Chains A and B, each alone.
Chain A
């Protein structure tokens, strides 16, 4: 049975593929970091939607919370590192 939550799940998966285009194709490294930030935001939403779909939100929401904290570590750490490194081409 195909419910609306299945549709939301498929739609977010397609949006992740769209962001992956920017991650692989981006001209500078900053485009790739921004694309990865978008992908991880979509992954958090995907996990909560999946929890609603299975009716076990209390299990999936903890994984999503950990993923949100990994998102800040990844994005901020790579951003600060690239700012300090002063590379012109990459």
Chain B
């Protein structure tokens, strides 16, 4: 039986699956981070909103606190890791010319 909260979690799981496929399939660390960071943040929003949908108790407010933390921390972490990668000599992948 499909209610609003399970529908939101299903949408979030779709985005998380897209992020996982991108992490497996893409060629270098920059494009992998592009797939992981953006799509993962959106999927986290949908899943946590679906979990907190039932009521507005203190636990649901804490779920939104987790959402606030993840929304700000996920881009910062991937930016720090990618800046370290770029400064340590990892070159971005380009398609070689024929």
Interfacial residues, chain A to chain B (CB-CB below 8 A): 4, 8, 11-12, 15, 18-19, 21-22, 28, 30-31, 33-35, 37-38, 41-42, 44-45, 48-49, 51-52, 57-58, 61-62, 64-65, 68-69, 71-72, 75-76, 78-80, 82-83, 85-88
Besides A15-B20, A79-B80, 20 more A-B contacts (Cβ < 8 Å) are A4-B6, A15-B16, A15-B17, A18-B20, A18-B23, A22-B23, A22-B24, A30-B81, A34-B81, A35-B23, A38-B20, A45-B16, A45-B44, A61-B62, A65-B66, A68-B66, A79-B84, A82-B81, A88-B88, A88-B89
Contact A34 B78 (CB under 8 A): yes
Docked complex Cα distance between A35 and B62 (Å): 26
